Structure 1
């Protein structure tokens, strides 16, 4: 009997060092390098700004004195408070509505699946990026020069600046919609507008509403800042009180703003959850509101798209809802004290107004001051991103229900996130300026605290959106909770986490610019002073410096997001 030796097939094992290199994905390498650069930059910025535990402890006496000067709070009368709130809410509502309407059409032109051509898509994308890059404070200075005091400059400034976020989110969400119905209608001869309204709008509507609510929440907190340049409402009243050292009244108004922002945050979050909580239910609901059979009409043997949809219960409900919104917007025009006559006269002065901003400043001393201020702004953004992320990531992990399934623990940290998100960063900056003094430390601490609310929520939501089947499989093989988290959950959420950190840094560049108006360091202080003394060429130069930095950070963020796809 002859034995046959079976030799296993020969393989060429990959050397350990080559296998490691092959496992490295270019996208993750790029993201790792950028994250390392942010960490190193954050440490450098913290050292340059002299942020340390010892200096914070030394500020405890200032904090105690500030609390003593703040209490008892001096609230205005209920009627005065209601009037200030209504004026603020009116300005914010009109600004948000303006951004939603303009962003709707810009997104249609910017999305690749609805844009009529490449040129319109590129122009629309550029306008969206430009709107996001120019701070609303700068726009407010321009519009105050054109239209004078009142609510109109604030509405236009917030509305146009909001296009940067709203338009981008609208365009991105539109590109994610499958266009099967759109293509079928195009084949049957429907016009471009008919294809958009009946092919995309039904599935796009939840995102339109959700982003609009989210932006209203952001604009409400931002309206406080614009009060420092003359926009009416409760922000202006608070700025006047704090400017005259009436801390009892100023902090009372700040407390009112805090409560309103938290209530709006909770209500807005509940509405967004109701819209996006069950995609299947949303599609069924929208299908009832936009039934496909109502989109077509048959005449003889010819089937064509209806010129107008039929009157159904769904259409009647939409009509009544739109009528109610229209009535509210009209009431807001009066609440914001918009002078339409002044608006028309201001538009006629546009060429003259723009002429005051040119040519740009060329004085070497002023240019040096602008560069120094911009460096401090970048340092504040780097340091606040690092410090805030160190605290926010653990908070987000503890708030995620699938990581630590403890109802009380998750609820506690979710409530903490909501409360922090409801505090306008300007109020935090004012408090830290009083406690730690003027300069970048106050701005850094204010943005770092705000990061806990924003980044903490993003981290928690991303963790809860991970594929639990992978985690269950590892857990079934005897892995501990920490092993499941580090090997499965964290691995899945890493790309989103990197994108979130880049978004926070991008946002902090803009926020650090604006917080300078209350002495929290950075170029914002120079911007406010230049606008107050009517040095508009200096304003133009500062805006250009801000625009360059913002566009560089925006390009870096896009690079990281694309690398992680």
Structure 2
């Protein structure tokens, strides 16, 4: 009944926002006029384009690296297998939930107030918000490691940090890298959006161009962002695919990243002896060790280049952070600014945008995701084609799609809902495809042996097994779309994000806090619903 109610509210939201074929037809003339206004595209000089693109990539790289650094200890405290007690685990889980619930735009607004305009607030805002996603996925990965190696090190007298470094982290290293790459994709899109509040890079240039109605320059830069997102999506997907065998097998060269200090007989070769009789086993300088060292050196070089390209200035960081308590005090207590009914109405519109986008996206994502699953697709080429469609759609930044639709259809919630629906097709389609591929093929083979048709096998065995995961994915997409609808509001796509940006610009920080608390309440309610639904459907 709850799922039917969600479906009904999604249909109601589509109707309330007037998302229909007639609206799309009415926009055809506007689309033609829009193309005439943006062509020919006006690209900046190559040196200037390289500078702003390098700054954006530098911000994203530093933010993702900092997020991984912060998320690792949080995940270790949040995981039941490595935490020191229930209090520490609860505190770590609370940090993860709050980091996910508070939009990165809010982090950026607070940090821009403290640190001023520039790249550093963007790096910190993206990193703090990323802890929510990365910390949760890392904690889940830590709880799923093979308990044998940690128990062996504990039995040998290893301390907590020794068996974590020597047996837990090497096992989760493939997931660590894959999650960081996935988060890099997300941060690249978000960094463009943060340009609207003063974070440097190509996003700020797009904001300035569109604010002055210079659509030729704005769309040219948007095309550059699209190409960047496609390239990053393809590269990160390729690397994650190469890591996948190591994840499935639980072995490989990544399991030997950390060498442990152990007692060993004197006759053992290739040992470095310590003063207290212990020895360190050192792996030989073979091809694997050289590649690992080259990877570490390359990572350090990339971070150094990102620091230079981003233009991050740490010289005054200590002094600026000293003013953080005073700046945070500006956001408390919450205030309504005399527009509480307006804010609540805008919050309802934000939820409607998210519901409509999730419903429309699900209608398209389910067939695409099912056909992208190799164990269901009628031909391998069909699965490959659907996977290609998912990759292309996932590479489209919702911000760029929303901006184009706003220019075509005008300000309001319709372009925001359509942009988020397109994004939902990419993410939800991939999650559905993966869930369908993970079903037990023996159940499907049993139905085929009894004479069932392809449709009967799909509905009676495949989808029935994947249903709990699909329900969880749809609710997760709704959670993502609520945050996305809030952020897209700052570019005129309707909802409460518009008032969030205005309140920050006129320095009504108490109103900002009220808006954040409203969004936080909705996000936590959806999170609780998702947890309950997963338990019931399972």
Q: Which residue of 2 aligns with 1:525?
A: 498
Q: Which residue of 2 aligns with 1:201?
A: 169
Contact 1:399 1:411 in 2 (8 A): yes
Q: Which residue of 2 aligns with 1:360?
A: 334
Specify whether residues 503 and 362 from structure 1 end up closer, same or farther in structure 2 by C-alpha distance, changes over 3 A only: closer
Report Cα offsets for 1:106-156 as digits up to 9, x if no partner: 000000000011111000000010000000001101111111111000000
Report Cα offsets for 1:150-169 as digits up to 9, x if no partner: 10000000000000000000
Q: How far has the Cα of 1:479 moved from its partner?
A: 2.1
Specify whether residues 210 and 305 from structure 1 end up closer, same or farther in structure 2 by C-alpha distance, changes over 3 A only: farther
| Structure 1: distance between partners of 2:462 and 2:277 | 48
Contact 2:202 2:221 in 1 (8 A): yes
Residues 430-445 of structure 1 aligned to structure 2 (within 5 Å): 430-445=403-418
Say whether residues 1:402 and 2:371 are aligned partners: no
Q: Which residue of 2 aligns with 1:12?
A: none
Residues 29-48 of structure 1 aligned to structure 2 (within 5 Å): 33-48=1-16
Specify whether residues 289 and 140 from structure 1 end up closer, same or farther in structure 2 by C-alpha distance, changes over 3 A only: closer
Q: Which residue of 1 aligns with 2:262?
A: 296
| Structure 2: distance between partners of 1:106 and 1:209 | 17
Q: How far has the Cα of 1:256 moved from its partner?
A: 0.8
Match of 2:192 among 216, 224, 228: 224
User: Structure 1: which 5+ residue stretches go unaligned?
Assistant: 1-32
| Structure 2: distance between partners of 1:540 and 1:397 | 42
Q: Which residue of 2 aligns with 1:493?
A: 466
| Structure 1: distance between partners of 2:198 and 2:257 | 44
Contact 1:275 1:282 in 2 (8 A): no
Say whether residues 1:247 and 2:215 are aligned partners: yes
Q: Which residue of 2 aligns with 1:117?
A: 85
| Structure 2: distance between partners of 1:466 and 1:388 | 23
Contact 2:206 2:218 in 1 (8 A): yes
| Structure 1: distance between partners of 2:533 and 2:144 | 20
Higher mean C-alpha deviation, range 390-399 or range 154-163: 390-399
User: Structure 2: which 5+ residue stretches go unaligned?
Assistant: 268-275
Residues 374-393 of structure 1 aligned to structure 2 (within 5 Å): 374-393=347-366
Q: Which residue of 2 aligns with 1:6?
A: none
Q: Which residue of 2 aligns with 1:167?
A: 135
Contact 2:80 2:143 in 1 (8 A): yes
- What is the SS of the residue equivalent to 2:264? strand
Q: How far has the Cα of 1:325 moved from its partner?
A: 1.1
Q: Which residue of 2 aligns with 1:146?
A: 114
Q: TM-score, normalised by structure 1?
A: 0.90
Higher mean C-alpha deviation, range 114-123 or range 464-473: 464-473
Say whether residues 1:507 and 2:475 are aligned partners: no
Contact 1:296 1:305 in 2 (8 A): no
Higher mean C-alpha deviation, range 75-84 or range 167-176: 75-84
Contact 1:360 1:540 in 2 (8 A): yes
Q: How far has the Cα of 1:55 moved from its partner?
A: 1.7
Residues 237-276 of structure 1 aligned to structure 2 (within 5 Å): 237-276=205-244
Specify whether residues 295 and 560 from structure 1 end up closer, same or farther in structure 2 by C-alpha distance, changes over 3 A only: farther
Q: How far has the Cα of 1:51 moved from its partner?
A: 1.7
Name which one, 1 or 2, has greater alpha-carbon Rg: 1
Q: How far has the Cα of 1:310 moved from its partner?
A: 2.4
Q: How far has the Cα of 1:311 moved from its partner?
A: 5.0
Q: How far has the Cα of 1:76 moved from its partner?
A: 1.6
Specify whether residues 290 and 159 from structure 1 end up closer, same or farther in structure 2 by C-alpha distance, changes over 3 A only: closer
Contact 2:196 2:203 in 1 (8 A): yes
Specify whether residues 311 and 283 from structure 1 end up closer, same or farther in structure 2 by C-alpha distance, changes over 3 A only: closer
Contact 2:174 2:246 in 1 (8 A): no
Report Cα offsets for 1:339-361 as digits up to 9, x if no partner: 11232221011122112212221
Contact 1:198 1:295 in 2 (8 A): no
| Structure 1: distance between partners of 2:255 and 2:393 | 38
Specify whether residues 305 and 244 from structure 1 end up closer, same or farther in structure 2 by C-alpha distance, changes over 3 A only: farther
